Amino acid sequence: MNPDDRHYTQSHEWVKIDGEVGTIGITDHAQKELGEIVYLELPETGHVFNANEEFGTVESVKAVSELYTPISGEVVEVNKGAIAEPGIVNDDPFGDGWLLRIKLSTDQEVSTLMSAEQYAEYVRTEEK
Amino acid sequence: MKFLPVSDSDRTAMLQAIGVARVEDLFRSLPREVLGSPDLRPPMSEIEIRRSFGELSRRTAGARDTAFFLGAGLYHHYVSAIADQMLYRSEWLTSYTPYQPEVSQGTLQSIFEFQTHIGLLTGLDVANASLYEGASALVEALLMAERLSRGRRRAVLSAGIHPEYRETVRTYFANLDLEIAEVPVGPDGATEAQALAAAVDDRTFAVALQSPNFYGLVEDWKSASAAASGRGAQSIAVVAEAASLALLAPPGEAGIDIACGEAQSLGVPMNNGGPLLGFLACRTAHQRQIPGRLVGETRDAEGRRAFCLTLSTREQHIRREKATSNICTNQGLMALAANVHMSLLGRRGLREVALQSHAKAEYLKERIAGVPGYRIPYGGPTFNEFVVEGPEDARSLLSRLAARGILGGVPLSRYEDGSPRRFVTAVTEMNTKEEMDRLVAALGEAA
């Protein structure tokens, strides 16, 4: 159920690498835990982040949570559609509900992230 | 639930963990003079206490028993007996913003109405449920602008902002690594638009201007909005005499982003200096950064009009150290008083209060200007307060008047150097012509 074409973090983001650009979003598990998402606070393009740095917030009817970058790089695109209609993050977290595209500053970091299988195991242990 | 007090060994372990030898060391940053035990009198009987406080009260000149012209941030407007009576109702007396809010529909409705009044008076979209007082409202407005700027560190403040408000800002900023650039007022006592614009740079997150300013002069909100707009900074309107909002153009109409200040004038007695009533309002685009409580209107399961706390997810009890502010309450009882007052007076009544205050102040200003030895140093338009320059030290002049039951103004030397002969005089609808004529005559005799 977690697509295996991407990498996962312990803070429930995913990143899908395509050449030197990584697309970032939150996982299906994360959107379920948050509930109905009503607002996204995302950075502007051009902003440079280190890995594990806070890049924005996601607000649901019951909580506001921080979002962390899985990888370092410069923001090249922000999902305007998701800002206008945050509900698409609930509806399609791995597809149309993506959040940022980042131009990777290194290809070394991806190996430190989890695979789909490892992430599924991580969620199982976290829930115990 | 059990309550287990901290044992000596717990205390020692905690002190060790944070690297402090004794509990007293935690209070080292406090000034020495406040650290000692207070000088309390020995216990008294109830009769003795009443007698003692009675004496204290008789020694204190009250607004009711004097010709009262003190302002400088606190104003003597009429508060209806109806407003007082409403506050005595037991349903309201514990009007602390509730933590299980939706069961308290009456409290929420009153806060919603207060917010609506503030929104209408400021010309802005969203107002919070109130803050403690004007000075901390300015601080919260600035911190809100700082969050919106994401990384800018500098605020531009007009020196026409109340000196105590600026002092409060300095106190907060000293430990936040934020800078203040103060723009002095011009020779006419008002802030120069060009000087304000010139002070803004690419590190500036806010431009704050007060109107009427501390010297009573009406400033142009547009000079703040023009200085900030298009340069990534927020313009902040500061209002210390909220009665003026019923007469002067609302800040929102002049392109101001955030309005804040003191709403004591709108139905709260002077209360010997507090409790007061801070307010804060902004545009919808920035509503997620406004601190404090927000009440919204909604529909219940049966489609009836209902009220709820909204955007609470930004607040301290949910978001802990990531909250927009450590403000998690409001000035509930005073906001209620202001709501009752504004609802009673309505649009026309509030305007009448403002018009009377202004007209009487104009009369007094003109009369004082005609007294030999006195002048009005700033010629610009004022609302209900103005600076007077007398022939001698203002402190001694005013204390001689006070001995005759006339509180004629607040000496500027209390706040700033270099103008010992100047004082600021305020007039409200409470002042009679007889009182004003008495003040004018007393000033003439003193000179």
Read off the pLDDT of residues B207-233 as tens digits, 9 standing for 90 and up: 999 999 999 999 999 999 999 998 999
B286 at A interface, C-beta within 8 A:
no
Mean pLDDT of B278-284: 97
Q: What is the pLDDT of residue B38?
A: 77
| Residue A1 belongs to some domain of the structure | no
| Residue B218 belongs to some domain of the structure | yes
Residues of A in contact with B288 (CB under 8 A): 39, 41, 59
| Residue A110 belongs to some domain of the structure | yes
The total of structural domains in chain A comes to: 1
Residue predicted with more confidence, B353 or B89: B353
Verify that B303 and B400 share a domain, yes or no.
Answer: no
Nearest to A66 among B313, B318, B322 (CB): B322
Mean pLDDT of B66-92: 92
Mean pLDDT of B348-355: 98
Q: Residue B4 pLDDT more than 90?
A: no
Mean pLDDT of B258-282: 96
Q: Residue A45 belongs to a domain with what CATH number? A: 2.40.50.100
Mean pLDDT of A113-128: 91
Per residue in A73-106, pLDDT tens?
A: 999 999 999 999 999 999 999 999 999 999 999 8
Both tokens of A104, joined, read 């990777």
Which chain A residue shows the shortest CA-CA distance from B323?
A64
**Considering B307, B341, B375, which residue would you say is the last residue of a domain?**
B341
Least confident of B55-59, B119-123, B365-369, B431-435: B55-59
SS3 A107: coil
Residue predicted with more confidence, B274 or B248: B248
| Residue B37 belongs to some domain of the structure | no
| Residue B1 belongs to some domain of the structure | no
Verify that B88 and B185 share a domain, yes or no.
Answer: yes
Least confident of A106-115, B25-34, B61-70, B278-287: B25-34
ipTM: 0.74
Distance of CA A109 to the CA centre of its chain: 15
B11 at A interface, C-beta within 8 A:
no
Q: Which of B212, B213, B237 is nearest to B224 (CA)?
A: B237
Evaluate whether B240 touches B134 at the Cβ level (below 8 Å).
Answer: yes
Verify that B148 and B191 share a domain, yes or no.
Answer: yes
Residue predicted with more confidence, B13 or B91: B13
Verify that B147 and B190 share a domain, yes or no.
Answer: yes
B288 at A interface, C-beta within 8 A:
yes
Per residue in B232-241, pLDDT tens?
A: 999 999 999 9
Mean pLDDT of A22-45: 94
Confidence of residue B40 (pLDDT cuts 50, 70, 90): confident
Mean pLDDT of B361-384: 97
Q: What is the pLDDT of residue B97?
A: 63
Q: What is the pLDDT of residue B95?
A: 59
Q: What is the pLDDT of residue B1?
A: 57
Q: What is the pLDDT of residue B91?
A: 80
| Residue A118 belongs to some domain of the structure | yes
Q: Compute the count of residue pairs across chains A and B with CB atoms less than 8 Å apart.
A: 17
Confidence of residue B158 (pLDDT cuts 50, 70, 90): very high
Residues of B in contact with A64 (CB under 8 A): 313-314, 318-319, 322
Contact B313 A59 (CB under 8 A): yes
Verify that B309 and B440 share a domain, yes or no.
Answer: no
| Residue B49 belongs to some domain of the structure | no
Q: What is the pLDDT of residue B311?
A: 85
Verify that B210 and B288 share a domain, yes or no.
Answer: yes
The total of structural domains in chain B comes to: 2
The CA distance from B323 to the nearest CA of chain A, in Å, is 9
Verify that B290 and B323 share a domain, yes or no.
Answer: yes
Verify that B263 and B412 share a domain, yes or no.
Answer: no
Q: What is the pLDDT of residue B103?
A: 85
Residue predicted with more confidence, B27 or B312: B27
| Residue B97 belongs to some domain of the structure | yes
Domain that holds residue B211: 81-341
Which chain B residue shows the shortest CA-CA distance from A54?
B322
Contact A63 B288 (CB under 8 A): no
Q: What is the pLDDT of residue B328?
A: 67
Per residue in B311-334, pLDDT tens?
A: 877 777 777 777 777 776 788 889
Q: Residue B23 pLDDT more than 70?
A: yes
**Considering B341, B375, B396, which residue would you say is the last residue of a domain?**
B341
SS (H, E, C) chain B: CCCCCCCHHHHHHHHHHHCCCCHHHHHCCCCHHHCCCCCCCCCCCHHHHHHHHHHHHHHCCCHHHCEECCCCCCCCCCCCHHHHHHHHCHHHHCCCCCCCHHHCHHHHHHHHHHHHHHHHHHCCCEECCCECCHHHHHHHHHHHHHHHHCCCCEEEEECCCCHHHHHHHHHHHCCCCCEEEEECCCCCCCCCHHHHHHHCCCCEEEEEEECCCCCCECCCHHHHHHHHCCCCCEEEEEECCHHHHHCCCCHHHHCCCEEEEECCCCCCCCHHHCCCCEEEEECHHHHHHCCCCCEEEEECCCCCEEEEECCHHHCHHHHHHHCCCCCCCCCHHHHHHHHHHHHHHHHHHHHHHHHHHHHHHHHHHHHHHCCCCCECCCCCCECCEEEEECCCCHHHHHHHHHHCCEECCEEHHHCCCCCCCEEEEECCCCCCHHHHHHHHHHHHHHC
Q: Residue B150 belongs to a domain with what CATH number? A: 3.40.640.10
SS3 A56: strand
Q: What is the pLDDT of residue A39?
A: 93
Residues of chain B with pLDDT > 70, as a percent, come to 98
Confidence of residue B98 (pLDDT cuts 50, 70, 90): low
Q: What is the pLDDT of residue B94?
A: 67
Mean pLDDT of B3-18: 90
Residues of A in contact with B318 (CB under 8 A): 63-64
Domain that holds residue A122: 7-127
What is the model's pTM?
Answer: 0.88
Contact B313 A64 (CB under 8 A): yes
Whole-number average pLDDT of chain B = 93
| Residue A2 belongs to some domain of the structure | no
